[in-house]
A and B are shown apart, each in its own frame.
Chain A
Amino acid sequence: MVGPLDTVLLVALGVLALVFGALVFTLNSMARVTFALLAALVCVGGITAVLGLPYLGVVIVLMMVMEMVIMAVFMIAYMMNPAGLMPMSMLHNKRGALAISGVVFAALVAGIFAVPWPARTGIRPRDTTFQVGRSLMGDQMLTMVTLGFVLLATMVGATVLATRRGRYDRFGDDLDRRPADDPAGGGVGR
């Protein structure tokens, strides 16, 4: 099922993912934190690829690289300590959070070893990319359609939230103010 090379890769990527995951919440500099998270999620993509899903693994790696580079910009823009020049704690209720996550981890591990997992059913298809494509365009079409609408709603919602001045700012509460109240003139006929 898993060859020796794959086992070595899985162990290495797993340990690295955990180490970088822990670094995300221990490093001081925001830029370093972002790239630690990027490294952890690239390891996640690597594990996915080693487990026989190369397409999804590569998608995860590429997406995370883009996402974390964007995140780095936001981190440096919004954080109180962008470069980590002043070591400071940004935590609240650390003990409670540690207790909750520790209890959750213990419960998950207990469940993992207590549950009698079923035996493997079926054999792996030769082309797993083909399998996910068939699935998304066939049985799971409803999932795909739903995900598409979710992404569209996200695009619209994020744009609306991030817009500084909406139509109510321009046209008044009843949308009947003409011409629009714009801080700077311009455009056709204005």
Chain B
Amino acid sequence: MTFELILVLAAGLFCTGLFGALSQQSIVMIMMGIELMIGGIIVAAADFWHFLAPAQGSGQVVIVAAVVAMAVEMAMGFAVTTAIYRARQVDMTDMAEELKG
């Protein structure tokens, strides 16, 4: 039962982050939402490793990959925010809609 409950916690973190990423206007806040979603994935991966296949190292590698994804997302997100702000003083998603179809 603990296994399922921790998965529910992971789903809760993921969906909180999803709500933030969808609803926030500020680019930096959207990145925070994505961080929270990846946090949920980390919890789920640790849960799967602990309760289903602790003898396999690959479960831990999923967590390493998720942590790297977090760092990459953060670095590229800040670089893009800096570039778009420098080019046209945009810090909100609603102001960056030139490519809207």
Pair count A-B, CB < 8 A: 234
Closest B residue, CB atoms, query A14: B9
User: What is the CA–CA distance of A21 and B91 in the complex, to the nearest angstrom?
Assistant: 23
- Mark out the residues of chain B between 1 and 55 whose CB falls within 8 Å of any chain A CB in the assembled complex: 2-9, 11-20, 22-29, 31-33, 35-36, 39, 42-43, 46-47, 49-55
Interface pair A118/B52, CB less than 8 Å apart: yes
A167, CB-defined interface residue at 8 Å: no
User: What is the CA–CA distance of A23 and B71 in the complex, to the nearest angstrom?
Assistant: 22
Interface pair A80/B50, CB less than 8 Å apart: no
User: What is the CA–CA distance of A49 and B17 in the complex, to the nearest angstrom?
Assistant: 22
Closest B residue, CB atoms, query A112: B7
Interface pair B26/A41, CB less than 8 Å apart: no
B96, CB-defined interface residue at 8 Å: no
Interface pair B49/A53, CB less than 8 Å apart: yes
Residue numbers in B under 8 Å from A120 (CB-CB): 51-54
Interface pair A158/B64, CB less than 8 Å apart: no
Interface pair A92/B61, CB less than 8 Å apart: no
Closest A residue, CB atoms, query B54: A124
Interface pair A18/B28, CB less than 8 Å apart: no
Residue numbers in B under 8 Å from A7 (CB-CB): 2
Query: Digit string of B70-81 for contact with A (CB within 8 Å is 1, else 0)?
Result: 111011101111
Closest B residue, CB atoms, query A103: B15
Interface pair A123/B55, CB less than 8 Å apart: yes
User: What is the CA–CA distance of A97 and B46 in the complex, to the nearest angstrom?
Assistant: 28
CB distance from B62 to the nearest CB of A (A): 9
Whether A79 contacts B16 in the complex (CB less than 8 A), given A52-B50, A74-B28, A109-B11, comes out as no
Interface pair B47/A51, CB less than 8 Å apart: yes
Residue numbers in B under 8 Å from A118 (CB-CB): 52
User: What is the CA–CA distance of A99 and B15 in the complex, to the nearest angstrom?
Assistant: 11
Residue numbers in A under 8 Å from B63 (CB-CB): 48, 53, 56, 60
Most buried by A among B5, B31, B46, B79: B46
User: What is the CA–CA distance of A122 and B83 in the complex, to the nearest angstrom?
Assistant: 49
Whether A162 contacts B55 in the complex (CB less than 8 A), given A53-B60, A101-B15, comes out as no
Interface pair A135/B57, CB less than 8 Å apart: yes
Most buried by B among A44, A56, A132, A136: A44
User: What is the CA–CA distance of A180 and B59 in the complex, to the nearest angstrom?
Assistant: 52
User: What is the CA–CA distance of A47 and B28 in the complex, to the nearest angstrom?
Assistant: 26
Interface pair A104/B94, CB less than 8 Å apart: no
Interface pair B9/A56, CB less than 8 Å apart: no
Closest A residue, CB atoms, query B72: A154
Whether A47 contacts B68 in the complex (CB less than 8 A), given A101-B22, A104-B15, A132-B60, comes out as no
A-B contact pairs, 7 of them (CB 8 A): A7-B2, A71-B74, A104-B14, A105-B11, A134-B57, A151-B72, A161-B76
